[in-house]
Amino acid sequence: MSRLLVKDVRIVDADRELVGDILIGESTIQAVGAGLSVPPGVPVLLGEGRMALPAFVDLHAHFRDPGFPEKEDLLSGARAAAHGGFTCVSLMPNTDPACDSPEVARYILEEARRQGLVEVYPVGAITRGLKGEELADMEGLAPYVWAFSDDGHGVDDHELMLAACRKAAALGRVVYPHPEFSGVSDPELSQELMVARDLWLCRRTGCRLHLAHLSTPGGLELVALAKGQGLPITCEVTPHHLTLSKEEACYTVNPPLPDRRAQKALVQGLREGIVDVIATDHAPHTPEDKARGAPGISGIELAFPILFTRLVKPGLIPLSRLSRGLSLEPARILGLNKGLIKEGLDGDIVLVEDEPFTADEDFFLSKSSNTPLLGAELRGRVWATVHKGEVIYLAGKVKGRDFDDHRQVI
């Protein structure tokens, strides 16, 4: 069991802010306060006034393993996650083969545990091969996944999606749809029609529903109405949809970047609590695939800096609200003992520097750096990531490759 004392930090989470220390013992937080004494034999991480937040939890990422190791694999993705301040990552099923069988889900879990870097939570496919034609082995997948999604594809077939919602409800798993109808050319209308359909299925079946990467004001309006009726639903927005507009950046993502009007509505939805979670949709690609039009941003390493720079620093949202969206709410959805810097919760901490830096090619630990933010000056660089009391990233070094024990580098 790892033990650690984090000294002299500005502690911020969804519930409070204070200056002090954090004592982690037996992998959980034992004490939070000013002037904590150093127990014998416990290593100390000197925060020197840096911000300390609960480590981040990403509900939506692609590590491309199995199938596309040239873009990312479980190890490079985990290293990128640790670099970005994430200790828990939920992986989408659009691998090759797709995560539509217990064998693929077990491979992902076992490989992640072998690496021992970040916690990984697979999402199972709704349909076999993500083709939208027949249900995947949802019963076989259920012990290994927390949710079901066809990720980049909405399930157009209403009867098939109804059956999936009923089955997920019976299995106690979340339905996590990609809100988009394939036959509708208008992206906003396509999303809103799918959101409306899936909310009705949630109402009919009682399944828990988590809506992926909402990007339209109409989608948020539907979610707000459904929440007002007490339906068991949550939703997410990505960092790039919150901070980039199509007027500012010409970059291919799915759903498309919003216009400034929609972007402001998304930020307002986050501020008001309609949006529960900020999820990266980390989508690494090779330069060749990106040049051919593959949608997506390699976003897990710059998620906090871009949100901190463009939302928190200008005063659009408080840091506590950002912490809620990146840590507390996704941890609650996954049922984890994380998300606050509080006694009894897991010792998952991220230390951040409020200093400017440039996001150049050398910044990334992911295999891919496909992002419109290359060359941007940002603030909020992650300095250290702690998972259950163990330092897994510190000042450019990652556990396992650059150091074996945090006492060597502190």
Give the residue numbers marked as catalytic. 281
H/E element, 288: helix 287-291
For residue 88, give the nearest of 295, 308, 388 by alpha carbon: 388
Cis check: omega of the bond before 97, within 30 degrees of 0: yes
Rounded to whole angstroms, the Cα distance separating 98 from 91 reads: 11
Tokens describing residue 138: 């949802």
Classify residue 319 by burial, with Cβ atoms within 10 Å: 0-12, 13-18, 19+: buried
Burial annotation 6-26 (CB, 10 A radius, 16+ → b, else e)? bbbbbbbbbeeeeebbbbbbe
Backbone φ/ψ region at 265: left (φ over 0), alpha (ψ -120 to 50), beta:
alpha
**How far out from the chain centre does Cα 3 lie?**
26
For residue 315, the tally of other CB atoms under 10 A from its CB is: 7
What are the residue ranges of helices labelled H in 28-136?
74-83, 102-115
Rounded to whole angstroms, the Cα distance separating 342 from 24 reads: 10
Q: How many Cα atoms occupy the beta-carbon half-sphere of 134 within 13 Å?
A: 2
For residue 196, give the nearest of 241, 233, 238 by alpha carbon: 233
For residue 28, the tally of other CB atoms under 10 A from its CB is: 17
Output helix, strand, coil percentages for the chain, rounded to the nearest 5. Answer: 30, 20, 45
